[in-house]
Amino acid sequence: MIKSNDSAIGELNDIVGFHIRLAHGAVYRHFAETFANLELTQKQVSVLWLVGENPAISQIELGQRLRMDRATTMTIVNRLQDRDYLRRERSETDGRKQALYLTDVGADALAKAKLAIHEHEEWLKSRFTSEEIEKLVEMLARIHD
């Protein structure tokens, strides 16, 4: 039986997926509160971060690395470009592809987002020991890999 603070949920207490959903909800709410002033979504931050670490990454490779379909990737890139966070240039290595780069405004937004992520991660990690965090990440990877 899974331990829970809420005995009123009956047999739901034994459903692993139910606890994952509750945990996801709590993490997402805290993330949304932490990021409220930045007006960025988790996916947008992930895109900025990956482009910042990989200047000239193609839109296709970006979507593959973040496990997003082409339409979602294009929508996010378009929105970030409309906000002057990203710019597209023709790839120097493959003229059929668009290379993505952070603008100065995008780099500033990413820096602010990283500070917010640090705050969010501190909140989340404060619930676990270092060993538990390592094991939790390992176990969650079994689900999403």
pLDDT in tens, 48-60: 999 999 999 999 9
The pair of structure tokens assigned to 102 is 């952070």
CATH of domain 39-120: 1.10.10.10
pLDDT in tens, 76-113: 999 999 999 999 998 788 777 889 999 999 999 999 99
The pair of structure tokens assigned to 56 is 């000239």
pLDDT in tens, 122-135: 999 999 999 999 99
pTM of the model: 0.78
pLDDT in tens, 8-40: 888 898 999 999 999 999 999 998 898 888 999
- Closest C-alpha among 98, 97, 45, 46 to residue 67: 46
Can you give the residue ranges of every domain in the chain?
1-36, 39-120
**Alpha-carbon span 116 to 105, nearest angstrom:** 17
What percent of the chain is helix, strand and coil (3-state, nearest 5)?
Answer: 65, 10, 25
Cα–Cα–Cα angle for 62, 68, 74, rounded to 5 degrees? 65
Interval 61-73 mean pLDDT = 95
Q: In this predicted structure, what is the pLDDT of residue 98?
A: 86
The pair of structure tokens assigned to 47 is 């895109």
